[in-house]
Structure 1
């Protein structure tokens, strides 16, 4: 009596094609074959949503049946509706064929009548495997071409969408477009406002974390109907990447570069989240990353006190001292000092000045500030954007810079010629814009009410720092102890100077030092 063939049914459905036969239909075909062969189905290896390019040995369901010794002994044949349900790569399929031969297994494709137990079946399988791989390559090429076309049309090509937008299906036609997400846009605008107002990225991070605002990845998860993790926190890298991306301007991006049309103009994926003037100001204000104060909330004098010699900001240094109290209990004392940046100590005449205790520096700065401007009316810099033509000129210049930088990276003459055409079109546009009269964007000081003393005395430490940053006022400070250690009895001589920007000094009517 011929022993019953033990069958492992193989079903795979890929999300990459709409022409796949359903899981139910594939199972039905395998069951019909088993019934006709008087075979017994002992198990199913069903991989739903797994691409044919994945190695069969690494697929979630079939993989264990090919690698687990206990499971390998439970079946004699792997039966699938078509050969491409086992895989679409000729290399990977031949690897599977070799494994089956070494382990005494048979692979069967029902629709193509392939049985690897015969030499003709093995030959036909090799031919079909090559065709399957070609079909997979065609699928990939169609996907790449479709995504490129969608980007050119300003449509969303799928994948990860920029924070501040949400995918919406296009009503008149196929595909999707990106619309502004009010929640994301509000968060972005609040960060931009913090940076422009001088409160800085660390302040924005603390505010967002204190408010329990979802980070971008978790917010997008909630938009897709998932359950977000509200415990994840905002960090500097997250915020800086967000506000330095041109996606905020509604530009279509590919691999970090702006997608442009034949005229060199950026392809728009949606309405800009912030204005070009705001974007440029944020880029300027976040060019240099603060490496000397990584706390969520900076010290009050971070970026405010500089060396009188090289004018570089002094950084904060924290030390701890452990002492034993009379009760025998240990107590830790923390001290914070302002010191010269280590990397510039040997390049500046004051590079090895005595460290300045932070609390002493804060009192000294307060006294200097109030003595100099305390009784004057507060004026703050307000950014006056130029007309729309001014923004268009800056956008055209940025486009030219980007296109010219790309030419050197292109190998093909066709790509270079297209870039040259885009550059010529953008250059002609820039010439026309420059020939027209325009109002340049500029800073302007405007009174905001009250005196500097009023604002200083009514503000918190963060508020005082913000006031100084918005005004552009800094302080040059050093302590000279003659090379000796600073003590209470020998505090040394303190040299300080308030540095008021020339335009603010003129606006306030302060004489030049």
Structure 2
């Protein structure tokens, strides 16, 4: 309104009956957009036109108009009466409330039934949905917003189909990959491995393949969280200039990433590789994180593993799961209190375990003392030793090509059984491609190959290097566990206070454990 200072329209709730909530929404926030500022100005103008004021803002950025207003992050709590009193809503347009007729009408009728105001910019006064003319106009504007949404969705679907048919990616890159554009905001020119994220996944895969019995998706997700690695969602946000949300790595998410064929550099659709029309092979966007043989070995290691009956401790103490009681041979636990530092002790007798009924007195020692003793002993015994790592060797590549060709033929067969090549011309193309893949597979199987498997190689660092390079307590605990270290603690009255050793006995070289 002319002559009105819009800055005075914003003030706290005062019970005047016209304390409105400003509603703003935008599906995609870009640096060049001015929509948030324009929506703010329109909302303030609409509120001033009815003599109301703004008590707060429900800003839903990066939220689609197809989202039900009740479930939106900012507006939803207000509509569910979780944020305090307000006298109505004011938005820059009806489509800022939503782009679905049912959702818009539900929101409008909620305001009407609760005797609250509903105001949008461009409409004279507040909406009166008891008036048939106002109700029809509100419905038509909501219908127009829904028609626009359906047109946008149709255009996006068509563009996605054409892009996929051309063998180009569209949408978000998989974790470990990045899109390269020669022109900012332009089309995707090529796909590359992300230098940091790809190494994160490769390191996870190496650790799982080297020790599938102890290294799991759950333990790796916990390790990545401790190391401060950005989760896939946060990594994508930061990569596109948005703030990190502090979301953690989840075991199932990491498992899905490792098992997906997207890690091979394929163009994916509905979790399956897109096949080329000419040769029936998966469309490859760039080099993969690993080859087909490694993918199959990783898949076997993850899916064939049975869940253990015990959980590995993630507590911030070096010797949990490593230290044992010298009297009852059960695992030591940490005891904490306000008046004393953390201590390692045996709690088996207090828990009523039969094997610990004569464990008296229970061994007890300050945690920092035993940690220091074990660290000094461990580095003295093994600190100068070179570390060897166990890695997966895919062989000379023949096995990979055989697995790739066999997978392509299996996909064609599955598509044929699903009825995709029933037309006469499609059936002829299927027979030609299937026969060609069969001949190629036979030729590959006749070639000599070096079988894939696990090999040991030097890492170029010593045990002491890795120990002091460990990022946290959990990393040092993993080193002790990998080397099979066990510490036996006895009561203070015993002749020997503590005895270090290796789980596999002195006859086994502890260097072979890495």
Aligned to 1:323: 357
Aligned to 2:434: 427
CA shift, 1:322, in A, is 1.0
Contact 2:117 2:126 in 1 (8 A): yes
- The question of 1:443 aligning with 2:451 is answered yes
CA shift, 1:250, in A, is 0.8
CA shift, 1:108, in A, is 3.5
Aligned to 2:347: none
State the distance in 1 between where 2:354 and 2:253 align.
31
Aligned to 2:388: none
CA shift, 1:150, in A, is 4.3
Contact 1:399 1:426 in 2 (8 A): no
- The question of 1:255 aligning with 2:273 is answered no
Contact 2:46 2:119 in 1 (8 A): no
The correspondence of residues 242-281 of structure 1 with structure 2, limited to 5 A, is 242-263=257-278, 264-281=280-297
Report the TM-score when normalising by structure 1: 0.57
Describe the superposition over 1:190-239 as per-residue Cα deviations: whole angstroms up to 9, x where unpaired.
Answer: 4555566x643525887997898848753763574466979x7896x677
Aligned to 1:501: none
CA shift, 1:24, in A, is 2.1
- The question of 1:402 aligning with 2:418 is answered no
CA shift, 1:21, in A, is 6.6
Instruction: Please state whether the residue corresponding to 2:214 is helix, strand or coil.
Output: helix
Describe the superposition over 1:302-325 as per-residue Cα deviations: whole angstroms up to 9, x where unpaired.
Answer: xxxxxxxxxxxxxxxxx9711325
Contact 1:191 1:201 in 2 (8 A): no
Describe the superposition over 1:226-270 as per-residue Cα deviations: whole angstroms up to 9, x where unpaired.
Answer: 66979x7896x6775554332221112333322223232212233
Backbone CA RMSD of aligned residues:
5.0
Segments of 5+ residues of structure 1 without an aligned counterpart are: 300-318, 333-380, 450-455, 467-513
Segments of 5+ residues of structure 2 without an aligned counterpart are: 1-15, 314-320, 322-352, 365-391, 458-505
CA shift, 1:91, in A, is 0.9
State the distance in 2 between where 1:144 and 1:228 align.
29
The correspondence of residues 187-202 of structure 1 with structure 2, limited to 5 A, is 187-190=200-203, 192-193=205-206, 199-200=211-212, 202=214
The correspondence of residues 339-378 of structure 1 with structure 2, limited to 5 A, is none
* Structure 1 pair 70–64 and aligned structure 2 pair: CA distance change class (3 A): closer
Describe the superposition over 1:431-473 as per-residue Cα deviations: whole angstroms up to 9, x where unpaired.
Answer: 552575752434399x999xxxxxx95622x826x8xxxxxxx
Instruction: Find the partner of 1:127 among 116, 127, 140.
Output: 140
Instruction: Find the partner of 2:512 among 435, 446, 463.
Output: 463
Instruction: Please state whether the residue corresponding to 2:357 is helix, strand or coil.
Output: strand
Aligned to 1:162: 174
- Report which of the two structures shows the higher radius of gyration computed on alpha carbons: 1
Report the TM-score when normalising by structure 2: 0.57
The correspondence of residues 232-243 of structure 1 with structure 2, limited to 5 A, is 241-243=256-258
Instruction: Find the partner of 2:120 among 109, 131, 141.
Output: 109
Paired residue total? 376
Contact 1:5 1:38 in 2 (8 A): no
The correspondence of residues 331-342 of structure 1 with structure 2, limited to 5 A, is none
Instruction: Please state whether the residue corresponding to 2:40 is helix, strand or coil.
Output: helix
Describe the superposition over 1:331-355 as per-residue Cα deviations: whole angstroms up to 9, x where unpaired.
Answer: 89xxxxxxxxxxxxxxxxxxxxxxx
State the distance in 2 between where 1:71 and 1:211 align.
39
- The question of 1:140 aligning with 2:153 is answered yes
